[in-house]
Amino acid sequence: MTDGYRTKTPEEIELMRRSGRLLAATHELIAGMMKPGVSSAELDRAAEEFIRDGGGKPAFKGYRGYPATLCVSFNEQVVHGIPGPRRFVEGDLVGVDCGAILEGYYSDMAVTHYVGGEPPAQVDALMKTTLRSLHKGIEKWRPGNRVGDVSAAIQKEVESRGFSVVRALVGHGIGTVMHERGLQIPNYGNAGTGLKIVEGMTAAIEPMVNMGGYDVRELKDGWTYVTADASLSCHFEHTVVATADGPRILTLP
């Protein structure tokens, strides 16, 4: 335990790695389907079937009443978009978030896709900045650092490129439940503050970055968040563990 957050044993980390590997393979399947004309519901069905065929269970489906395996968020939607009949069209920016449970352990991962061809320069910059900020944050997920070091690294990368970090939503602890109590990871903050990171701490780090301002609002469906100014949003996420050798990403193929 560290300040109320339970660290994981090497055996547990291995189980989380297996879960993460299944989830990463699910995202590879999704990436191959991200084409104009495909609906988000089709994507959701394929992801659920793949996870179950791999011996796992969708982590999101039924969580607090959520109805689907994936969160599929279009353009100004930040996170938690519910899959349905809407079909992808060329030029859509689509964030896909998914979680898996395998042998009782959770993994969580998000990828944002541009549908159809090469993205315009500003959209490309938004995507690259978000992904780069994720890896800047992951680099700080090492024993001896603090959560604020992760937050500050993400914020610095994003704001230095002229974009904004969503402040109302955060990364989280993860392990035998989707959101483990005792650990939250804002994507903005001050270095040297917050919970101390120790070996065996697992987390889902997930910058959500807007092309416009950082304010968001929730839609009437009770799930979907959108940018308050209708600007585009981007989301990337990995499940990670702090080890004696530094950060290790668990959601890799």
| Backbone region of residue 55 per phi and psi (left: phi > 0; alpha: psi in -120 to 50; beta: other values) | left
Taking alpha carbons only, the member of 160, 185, 162 closest to residue 238 is: 185
Query: What are the tens digits of pLDDT across the range 106-153?
Result: 999 999 999 999 999 999 999 999 999 999 999 999 999 999 999 999
Which CATH architecture describes the domain 10-249? Alpha-Beta Complex (3.90)
Buried b (16+ CB within 10 A) or exposed e, 77-88: bbbbbbbeeeeb
Q: For residues 156 and 45, what is the distance between their CA atoms, to the nearest angstrom?
A: 38
Q: Which segments in the chain show pLDDT lower than 70? A: 1-4
The reported pLDDT for the residue numbered 4 is 67
Q: For residues 176 and 158, what is the distance between their CA atoms, to the nearest angstrom?
A: 31
The reported pLDDT for the residue numbered 119 is 97
Task: Sort 54 into a burial class: Cβ within 10 Å, 0-12 / 13-18 / 19+.
Answer: middle
Residue 191 CA, distance from chain mean position? 22
Sign of CA dihedral 70, 185, 209, 206: negative
Q: For residues 253 and 250, what is the distance between their CA atoms, to the nearest angstrom?
A: 9
Q: What is the DSSP letter of 177?
A: S
The reported pLDDT for the residue numbered 113 is 98
Q: For residues 229 and 239, what is the distance between their CA atoms, to the nearest angstrom?
A: 30
Q: What global pTM score does this model have?
A: 0.96
The reported pLDDT for the residue numbered 3 is 61
Residue 86 in tokens: 């809407």
